[in-house]
Copies of this chain bind each other. A is one copy, B any other.
């Protein structure tokens, strides 16, 4: 894509406050897009995610935090306080999966993109570490993009709504290497499923372990603030 630096195209970038979406935002900037950061307050237990999202999105053209309470539907350990967040997940679709989360997130990104007359949406889904989540797979993203091109004015008129997933086939180490090359401040990001009130990571949940292993494998110093140092 050849971008005109004096008139950059707009992109909506989903920013959670985690490591992955911080990397995606840096990639979208690096590709020449004017970035509109979208965060969702969806009833996740970890409010520190949104504090992190504000830091991560600070350099964007605009950052919106939209309230959509998915916890009222129940069904996930991340939003339903009656389900424990496990330290070890069995195979299959994990209990931390939030029903239709990425579908809802991408739909809201699409609504904003259409109102902005933007054709590009970035999301940090990853099929390597989240193989149990149906809505992190390439076939889901392709189906969403096909639907988006039938759902919207820009899609119907121009057919070029594009869902970008630059991380989808990267390992955590590859993501961290790419982000470090773009000077992403990973200290600002939170990956832990249940950080403490100061946003410090538990070092024990699946998400913490995948993250710590990623820094080690990438040979990048881990700037994560932990409650207690990882074992």
Q: Are A111 and B107 in contact (CB under 8 A)?
A: no
Q: Are B107 and A103 in contact (CB under 8 A)?
A: yes
Among A21-29, A50-58, A132-140, A175-183, the stretch that binds chain B is: A132-140
Among A65-73, A166-174, A209-217, the stretch that binds chain B is: A65-73
Task: Tell me how many chains of this kind the complex includes.
Answer: 2
Which B residue sits closest to A155, measured CB to CB?
Answer: B134
For the side of the interface on A, what is the size category?
35 or more
A11 interface residue (CB < 8 Å to B) = no
Given contacts A73-B112, A104-B107, A111-B101, contact A147 B156 (CB under 8 A): no
Among A2-10, A92-100, A192-200, A219-227, the stretch that binds chain B is: A92-100
Contact of A147 among B69, B101, B140 (CB under 8 A): B140
Residues of B within 8 A of A107 (CB): 100, 103-104, 106-107
Which residue, A66, A76, A152, has most C-beta atoms of chain B within 10 A? A152
Top 4 nearest A-B pairs by Cβ distance?
A75-B115, A99-B114, A100-B111, A143-B147
**Chain A interface (Cβ within 8 Å of chain B)?**
64, 66-70, 72-76, 93, 97-104, 106-108, 110-112, 114-116, 134-135, 137, 139-140, 143-144, 146-148, 150-153, 155-156
